[in-house]
Amino acid sequence: MPVLLTGTREWTNKELLIEVLDPYSRDTLFIHGGAKGLDSLANSVCLSLGFVKPHVVRPEYKYWIAKIGAAGGKIAPMKRNCLMLDGKTSEEGTVHPSLCPNLVLAFFLMKKETGGTAHCVAEARKRQIPILRYTPDGLWENITMVGLKLP
């Protein structure tokens, strides 16, 4: 089951991340965007817990700047979020069903947050992908669909 990880660049709570990820099967494929903060911490936690190497989808800054100019640098991370949710590795790539997440784990510093993590959660909702939201205090909100089995 592919699981998308998204979170703030200021996330530092390694202990909670270990607590959240540890129950998953070691063959779970975690997907993230390669940013500093939650993404880079999650990458190291996944590897230290013995999971398969996470799949990283980085923003395509050059592609979007070439396509629409300087504003492309601002939207590239948001477009990357959509690629991850759609199981794609690039704007011009095809959908890989094995990369389509069945769950999103979102890590916020506060219960109300804006930015890339909030965008990713909003896009996951549009796609009806279940979401578990966390703050440094633990599980904040469980947005699941009927029949979803969590570890």
We report the CATH number of the domain holding residue 8 as: 3.40.50.450
Does residue 52 fall inside a structural domain?
yes
In a domain, 105, yes or no: yes
Domain range for 115? 3-143
- Domain membership of residue 95 (yes or no) is yes
Phi-psi sector, 28: left (phi>0), alpha (psi -120 to 50), beta: beta
CA–CA distance, 62 with 48 (Å, rounded to integer): 32
Does residue 117 sit within a domain?
yes
Q: What are the pLDDT digits (tens) for 14-65? A: 999 999 999 999 999 999 999 999 999 999 999 999 999 999 999 999 999 9
Q: What is the pTM of this model?
A: 0.91
Residue 151 lies in a domain: no
Residue 71, SS3 per DSSP:
coil
Query: What tokens were used for 63?
Result: 């592609």
Is residue 65 exposed (0-12), middle (13-18) or buried (19+ Cβ within 10 Å)?
A: middle
- Provide the number of structural domains found in the chain: 1
Look at residue 149 and tell me if it is in a domain.
no
Per-residue confidence band for 140, with pLDDT thresholds at 50, 70 and 90: confident
